[in-house]
Chain A
Amino acid sequence: MAAVTSVGETPAAAAASRPRGMQARRRRRLNAFRYVVFTVFGLFFLLPLLAMARFSLEGAKLGTWSATAWTQIASYQGTGVPPLLSSIEITLELAVITCVVTLALLVPTMIWVRLRVKWLARPMEFLSLLPLTIPAIVLVVGLGPIYNRIQHYELSALMLFWVYVILALPYAYRALAAGLGAIDVETLSEAARSLGASWFTVMFRVIAPNMRQAILNALLLTWALVLGEFTIAYLLLYNNLQEELYSISRNTPNAGVIFSTSFAALLFAFVLLLILSYAGRRRRGRG
């Protein structure tokens, strides 16, 4: 890491007579380059968000300010679409269900594979990361017949959780794998077993508490994913937050409420991921 700091500050051997001047000049040039880059990219990233924030505060007349769009979030009822609040509710419920199912599916299985069926570790990693390479739009084509059958029994949009778990799988898997890799699972489980613990105790009272941070990461990533999902809900004709925003924008282009809700959802995701990056700062980021 220390090497990186000095990339642009290496004393040039060729300029041995005046190493300090050379070094200072190169550093100045590098710093100028960095500030220009940070400013330009910062503006590119910031301006669309600011434009959205400004539009969410637009009054009835162009150029005026008003908070109507923000207060409307709770009460907005577009023509031909369900109330905005109900789709927010259903999205939050979906997020909770997806998180619970994803963790219930992954955590015990991953620990079990690590402890008892090591030969399944590679296939499991492959399966868990597979959804990254199958676009949601492809998945949805194949899901049609399956969801036909599900809708036979239950029509609620909450049924989307079945496939959201699949979408969340790669992110949750990577977060959990990092946490599991950081602790000495074998020693912990041998110690617990030799003291007479059952496999259940080993999993849920010994190992799982030791990967609390990884579980939190997986939770937040899954949560953020569900809040932003559009493709599958839209194509399977379900209503969730993103689909609702899209429908409102079709009926009432430039309705202030879509900007305030979008901005609120974005801020929410931002806060979640900041929590994540601060809570797990010592670990390296994804990539």
Chain B
Amino acid sequence: MAVAATTETGAQPSRAGRRPSIPAWAGTVPFLAYVAVFLLWPTGIVVVDSLKNPNGSWAVSNITKLGDPLVRPYFIGSFKLCLLSSVFGAVLGAILAYAVASGNPDGLVRRLYLAVSGVLAQFGGVTLAFAFLVLIGPVGLLFHASWFYEFPWGITVIYTYFQIPLMVLVFLPAIDGVKVQWREASENLGASAWHYWRYVGGPLLMPAFLGGTLLLFANALSAFATIIAWENQISYIVPQQISTALSSEVGLSNVNVADLLALGMVIMVAIVMTGYALLQRRAARWLR
């Protein structure tokens, strides 16, 4: 504080005779520089390159090419997969979270499910696709699902595997925040269980539930490893097509396809995460 104060007031006499002081924020320069080079710069490259022609001139109209029939199918595919897996994941995750929350808060079941959820929510990727391949794929031990390689059903089931635990992690605090007094109050006023959930519990949990669904949506949007290990011949979703575009620059005539697809993803994620932040704020109003 002291250093910051002297530099700001700039009192000349008191400074005389002291060695020139380095401002306190200089201590954060390594961190800021690192983030600038490896996070902000690459993101900037994506945005700028997608809005430029190959010859270097600006072409903001490139953004309209997001609706081009050459890229649209991948965005529709991404949307389908994210919607299905986030809705299934959110509904099932909410049910599981309710079952966990209604038990003993220090019990073994709760601790076990929380620890396992923490691991499984991160357990996407190549390994997960392998696990489902040997469970229900063509060589499956449980059964051979004829729809295993059908988009979006097979991959939706696989995605649900890490979506449910994530929903448990984000939705459990909201359920824990529901006060038993609210239920008692509504019962004192003669409400049935249905009335309680329809008019009290449901509306209270709805923002948290929708927020969780959006988080799951964003989570599915950015997943890449799982789907590439599931199917690497045909592109269904944007990340797969980015990968294809990176390895072969064909497609739209005068646009850097990978950059454009990436920009589209950034826009999608930004919309979803803004919605998430707004819903979180709404949810926090009652559930604390």
Interface of A toward B, CB cutoff 8 Å: 1-8, 10, 12-14, 30, 33-34, 37-38, 41, 44-45, 47-49, 51-52, 54-55, 105-106, 108-109, 112-113, 116-117, 120, 124, 127-128, 130-131, 133-146, 162-163, 165-166, 169, 224-225, 228, 230-231, 234-235, 242, 245-246, 249-250, 254, 258-259, 262, 265-266, 269-270, 273-274, 276-277, 281, 284-287
Given the known A-B contacts A144-B246, A287-B173, are A109 and B1 also in contact in the complex, defined by CB atoms under 8 Å?
no
Q: Which of A13, A127, A287 is within 8 Å of B172, CB to CB?
A: A287
**Minimum Cβ distance to chain B for residue A243 (Å):** 8
A137–B239 contact, CB under 8 A? yes
Q: Chain B interface residue count: which class? A: 35 or more
Cβ–Cβ < 8 Å partners of B60 in chain A: none
Contact of A134 among B135, B165, B266 (CB under 8 A): B266
Q: How far is the CB of A137 from chain B (nearest CB, A)?
A: 4
Q: Per a CB cutoff under 8 Å, which of B38, B103, B222, B246 touches A136?
A: B222
Judge whether B279 is part of the interface by a CB distance below 8 angstroms. Answer: no
CB-contact partner of B130 in A52, A284, A287, under 8 A: A52
Report chain A residues within 8 Å CB of B176. Answer: 1, 4
Taking CB atoms, residues of chain A closer than 8 Å to B179 are 3
Question: Can you list the 3 inter-chain pairs with the closest CB atoms, starting with the nearest?
Answer: A142-B42, A135-B222, A48-B131
Contact partner of A10 among B164, B180, B232, CB < 8 A?
B180
Instruction: Report the separation of the CA atoms of residues A8 and B4 in the bound assembly, to the nearest whole angstrom.
Output: 56
A151 CB → nearest B CB, Å: 15
B125 A112 Cβ-Cβ under 8 A = no
Residue of A nearest to B171 (CB): A287
Interface residues of B (CB under 8 A from A): 1, 3-4, 24-25, 27-28, 30-32, 34-35, 37-39, 41-46, 92, 95-96, 99, 101-105, 109, 111, 113-116, 118-120, 122-128, 130-132, 134-135, 139-142, 161, 164-165, 169-170, 172-173, 175-176, 178-181, 183-184, 187-188, 190, 218, 221-222, 224-225, 228-229, 232, 239, 242-243, 246, 258-259, 262, 265-266, 269-270, 273
Most B-side CB within 10 Å, residue of A33, A117, A120, A163: A117
